[in-house]
Amino acid sequence: MKETEKICIIDDDEIYIFLMKKSLSAMGINNEVISFINGSDALEALIQLKSNHEELPGIILLDINMPIMDGWEFLTEFRKVNIDTYKKIPIYIVSSSIANEDFEKSKTFPEILDYLSKPVDLETIVSILNF
């Protein structure tokens, strides 16, 4: 991942977001991190970035279980607005759900590169950011 690319975290756990930002910074990853506590806010922001021809994130770390718009709903709407026709954005599910049906459902979305269970160790995060 280029150092200039944004990292997008979509997760309703604000402590997790805070810890991720601190951890990334402590590891010397200086990419801008944008975060949202639900899929609706994230989708709206991504649409705005695209329409303004601003930089889209280089990666999305997406939780599944969130209020207002969950991860699955986000993915469905994300497809509809064709953001990835403008730029392919790799998406990683990062969830505390260990339900097999969630893991299997993630395989039906080609945008999803992997399903990571929380807590994700920092080495894993570094390796996916260096794709």
pTM for this prediction: 0.91
Tokens 């097999």 — which residue? 100
Sequence-distant (≥ 6) Cβ neighbours of residue 52 within 8 angstroms:
none
pLDDT of 125 above 90: no
pLDDT digits (tens, 9 = 90+) for 9-66: 999 999 999 999 998 888 888 889 999 999 999 999 999 998 898 889 999 999 999 9
pLDDT of 3 above 70: no
68 pLDDT tier (thresholds 50, 70, 90): very high
Q: What percent of the chain has pLDDT over 90?
A: 55
Give the N- to C-terminal CA distance of the chain in Å, as an integer. Answer: 6
Mind listing the domains of the chain with CATH numbers?
6-129 (3.40.50.2300)
pLDDT of 82 above 80: no
**Per-residue pLDDT, 11:** 97
Q: What is the DSSP string of the chain?
A: --TTSEEEEE-S-HHHHHHHHHHHHHTT----EEEESSHHHHHHHHHHHHHTTPPPEEEEEE-S--SSS-HHHHHHHHHHTTHHHHS---EEEEES---HHHHHHHTT-TTEEEEEESSPPHHHHHHHHT-
CB-CB contact of 77 with 43 (8 Å): yes
